[in-house]
Amino acid sequence: MENFSFLLTAVREHFQQSKRATTPSHHVIIGDKHFASGSSAQEIVDALYESQVTLGRNPCADEDSAPQAKTVDNQSLRKTVFDEARKRHPNSFRRLFQEDPVTLRDAAGKPHRIDLPIFADKDFARNGVRYGTFVSSHFRDPAYRGHNLNSGTIAMWGANTILGDHPNTVGGLFIYRPAEGTPGYDDETMLKIDNDIDNITWPFLRKKGMVVEVSHDPSRLAEAALTLAH
């Protein structure tokens, strides 16, 4: 519930700043107002939806059972990129990369814990904050791919809403993509992956102080993230 509240706050502040009824992201769809009430959250959900699906299985289970179809989730990607960055520039790694979520305070002083594997406060570089995340599109199934892409993107939107567009503040969205010719990923699947990547990156490309990097090479993503230190 706290995550939904934070997302709604971010959308409201976007509307207030832009003065336009345009969605800040494809994750948020503007439609007609609907009324829902109930004595509990479950009662409201039951009234809104005819059926519900429990998502309790390992999201990689079905895909991993398919022969020669490698999948990479966000946590696995993060570990690989962290290892690469630590080897390349240990000093910058210690100052820039974060193992745990960070706490940011909004304009009202309310704290929000956000999963940002890249974060350094305003004393790090020319009084500007550095923040970012790594997300993986290395899934054939659109549901699993969307889950990994969206989780990181929502964190970036939340951080950007709080940190604003200060000229010295820089954010980075670093996306892992299957290499061409990867077994199990035909041309049609790769096209769908590229379309998903385009959908989540275009709002960030329009923002000042935002770096977007897409690569099939984790070492390239590590190097791109380390450039935020300069």
What digits encode the pLDDT tens for the residues 77-124? 999 999 999 999 998 898 899 999 999 988 888 999 999 999 998 655
Strand 102-105 versus strand 111-114 pairing type:
antiparallel
DSSP 19-56: -S---SSTT-----------SSHHHHHHHH-S------
> Model-level pTM?
0.71
Mean pLDDT of 31-53: 61
What ranges do the domains of the chain cover?
60-229
Helices 142-163 and 2-18, packing angle to 10 deg:
60
Mean pLDDT of 178-185: 94
Confidence grade of residue 182 (pLDDT, cut at 50, 70, 90):
very high
The predicted structure's pLDDT at residue 169:
86
Secondary structure (3-state) at 113: strand
Closest CA to 146 of 215, 199, 97: 199
- What's the burial of 138, exposed, middle or buried (CB within 10 Å: 0-12/13-18/19+)? buried
